[in-house]
Chains A and B, each alone.
Chain A
Amino acid sequence: MNKQITLAMGNGGEENNELINKIFYKAFKNDILEKSEDAAVIHDGALAFSTDSFTVSPLFFPGGDIGKLAICGTCNDLAMMGAKPKYLTCSFIIEEGFSIHELEKIVRSMKKELAKNGAVIVGGDTKVVPNGCVDKIFINTTGIGEIQKKGISSNTISSDDVILVSRDLGRHGATIFAAREGIELSSKLESDCASLTHHVQALIDAGVEITALRDATRGGVSAVLNEWAKQSNICIEVQEDSIPVSQEVYGVCELLGFEAVNLANEGTFVLAIKKSFLKKAFEVLHSFENSENAVKIADVSYEYVGKVVLLSSYGTKRFLDTPTGELLPRIC
């Protein structure tokens, strides 16, 4: 491992995993942590517990802002364990000189998103640091949720399952990239940033047999699928032409040499459900506006255990690997 922290170590991909394994897991090792789920399941399976820190530039982007992101992020992590978010804490690290007006805007959007989730902030902390010590504002949120359905785990996916995504991929990553780098798009590209609590609740209420859920944040869907393939000792066979990608995102990807499956999402989740519940799952997902295009993208086999295979519509296949390195555009 590199002797210094590099940006690649925060990419949600391989270097990130290495850092976590070699530094954090090594020090903090315990049974709950090692399950490596989106949220820790504690208290005899009754509660889910998760934390996440948020830094994004620009702070306000099409489709959301850092405040909305901070609530969605933690609530979605809880929802992915089949839990209903209940209590959150939040910590702010704010740079000297930051505008109160902007802070109010951020807090307002946090309030709005909390209401959507039916969760409340029950504690917090504020630190102000000298100019240049943080980039404007960093927010941490930590949350507890009541588990509505036990046993959701990314360690038990099998060939009885099919894999779905809730909507088109890569919107958040493409939006932030375009905003940050000043790429002017003539069409309307917005982050997918959204809370997923109600989607999950509706799936549970409809009796859909859920094996695993994960929101495809940093590292995108390819990171999720690769983690699942390894955790469950399965091979995930993705039908390439079934992967939903919007025109706008495809455009950014084609221009810069990215793949939408590697781009971050903030309101898109991957589902592993029992095959026989596919129709029911679609009925539920298609009733929500932001998952009305949910589709099945993959089957599970044991051909290349621990690997994700991408099948093209003209008969070739290749591995889809965990993204590595910093997300950098190709040169030519």
Chain B
Amino acid sequence: MADWQIDLIKVVFIWTWALLIAVVMTWVERRASAMMQDRVGPNRAGPFGLLQPLADGIKLFTKEDIIPKRARKILFILGPPLFAIPAFSTYAVVPFGDKIVIGGKEIILQVSDVNIGFLYILALSAIAVYGMVIGGWASNSKYSILGGLRATAQLISYEIPMGLALLTIVLLYGTFSLREIVLQQQGTFLGVLPNWGFFKQPLGFIIFLVAAYAEANRVPFDLPECESELVTGYHTEYGSMRLGLYLFGEYVNLGTLAAVTVSLFFGGWGLPYIDMSKFLGPISYGIASFLVFFVKQAFFLFLFVWVRWTVPRFRYDQLMGLGWKALIPLGLINLFITALLVQLTV
């Protein structure tokens, strides 16, 4: 097979996988919330309600598509894709497995191992803000515009602690490439602990996780679409599949953030203490490394749902206070200490 064919297969695979995770996550969220609230949850569409996302999709596709008369039409249409596309694109640099050898050809399980993977993730997550703020602005409705403005302020504020937390990882591993970082996380550290970013950077991990929840607009930071004040925030005027794209993009975003968390802080596709490549064949090793990655990602996806139905929402000033007064100073101190340690030990 030519290289471009392999690349195409990888792109199609990761695309399908991202879509599948987003679809299954809508079901998981509804069933898990029902479980936590002592309800049953959707169980009429298919076995255990597994076809519920499909039913929602059919309904949203066949609903009337309303574009308000006073809305900016082009921007109104542009909003949802602008929100969903960056979420999908971030998957391109996520290493979802080590490597697989088919027919004597070594295939790296990553769509593209670019040497600026970090900057790519940060840049794309910044673009997703435009999807929200343009959607909110173009709707020409007071709730939408407030939601859009909140989204801008919140996402720009939380980009900074996220960037600071990621910089400590860059300092530690000396590279911007995600695959390199995952490779350096194999093995053990201090003899006992797995060589994971989480054990080397616990504070950085906490800052990153909090910022990731804010980036994904999840409770406790879902201020851009808080139902109690802003109807549904920036997508108040959106109906039919345009709304579906916003909701869907959110779940794709969750998948991306979980994948990034796993590859930066939890050793990606590596099992702690066990080197799978020693006793598994070349093909089964590739599949096993992907499954390990998937299990870790699934845990972080469930953590998003778990937190959403456990923690109440922040007030807006508390949110900004947490971002600017707690997370950014902590991130700076963490960066300083890490830089000092790296300088002293190398």
Do these two chains really belong together in a complex? no
* Chain A interface residues toward B at CB < 8 A: none
